Amino acid sequence: MTTSSTAAADTQRDSVSRSYIDRHWRGELSLAKSYWLNGILIVGTGGVIVFYLAPLALTLVVFGLRETPLRWVLPFSFLAWFGAYIWVWGGIWRSAGNYRGPRIWSIAARIAVVIGVAISLVVLFSAFLNLL
């Protein structure tokens, strides 16, 4: 084996052995998969269900309609959801940098990330203000 074929085999083995989460974070997935599957479907839709509606329902079932436990559950679930967004934004940003198709899609994806970060920071800030 030559040096270049050995390096190519090592790179292929590394990408196969790394998890989906790691490959997304490194921008190794296609831009379409990073944006539409991870960004919109998994974190957008799934994030609302898993990190917001599920804790809300659990709190209401376990504690009834008392407000105090809900004030403790929602901030933690919201922070977990926010962490998932950081993973998605990082992966989309890196995938856009690796994208070799029409440049407009790379630019559009990065603009969407910037807008998403700005909106989420406003939502996060206002949520914490409401808790005070």
Of 95, 78, 77, the C-alpha closest to 39 is: 95
Q: What is the pLDDT of residues 16-67, one digit of tens each?
A: 558 999 999 999 999 999 999 998 888 777 766 766 676 677 767 776 666 5
| Distance from C-alpha of 62 to C-alpha of 117, rounded to nearest angstrom | 33
> Which pLDDT score is estimated for 36?
92
pLDDT tens readout for residues 95-125? 999 999 999 999 999 999 999 888 878 877 8
Q: Token digits for 78?
A: 């919201």
Contact predicate 42/20, CB 8 Å: no
Residue 91 is predicted with a pLDDT of 96
pTM, entire model: 0.69
Mapped onto helix, strand or coil, the DSSP state of residue 28 is coil
Are the CB atoms for 87 and 24 separated by under 8 Å?
Answer: yes
